[in-house]
Amino acid sequence: QYFRDPAQLPTYYQQNHWLPRINNELPDSRNETFRKNFASLNSLVLVMFSNDTTVVPKESGWFGSYAPVEDAAWTQADPPPIIPMREQPLYKEDWIGLKALDERGAVVKMICDGPHMHIARSCWEPLVQQYVGGEATIDAVQPPWLVTQPQ
């Protein structure tokens, strides 16, 4: 449900019942209320992990994606080019309100060093302090019911 295969976009549009809808990619079923609500966020903090191998391409954490096969001269053997957020149709045509957010300075892009979801305190703490508010403590991000084993 999370993979957008640039070599099989028609199948993705037909078979994936979540991602094309949440991204308002289907012209006949775009949700204007969703776009307006998303555009009304105070801030959208996008975090990309420098060594991410779970989210592929890692730039999709910032709304980047591989170029569709028909739009780029690449083969399955070549690494596909990555289209950045501001060059995406989703952004240019503002399908989800991302462009509106970005134009008013409400999109924040962060890079955390390391693999997917290995968030060092030095990365998450400033985000919590600035965008969530209050004092950032480990208890705020690790609920008391979550027990972890020392490694």
More confident residue, 139 or 11: 11
58-78 pLDDT, tens per residue? 999 999 998 887 655 666 657
Residue 90 lies in a domain: yes
Domain count, the chain: 1
Residue 151 counted as domain residue: no
Residue 151 — very low, low, confident or very high, per pLDDT cuts 50/70/90?
very low
User: In 3-state terms, what secondary structure has residue 69?
Assistant: helix
Per-position DSSP letters for 90-136, written without gaps between them: HHHTTSSSHHHHHHTT-EEEEEESSSTT---HHHHHHHIIIII-S--
What CATH number does the domain containing 48 carry?
3.40.50.1820
The boundaries of the domain holding residue 73 are: 9-131
Residue 113 lies in a domain: yes
Yes or no: say if 9 and 72 are a contact pair by the CB < 8 Å rule.
no
Note whether residue 142 is domain-resident: no
Per-residue pLDDT for 38 more than 70? yes
pTM of the complete model: 0.80
CB 48 within 8 A of CB 109: yes
- Supply the mean pLDDT for the chain: 85
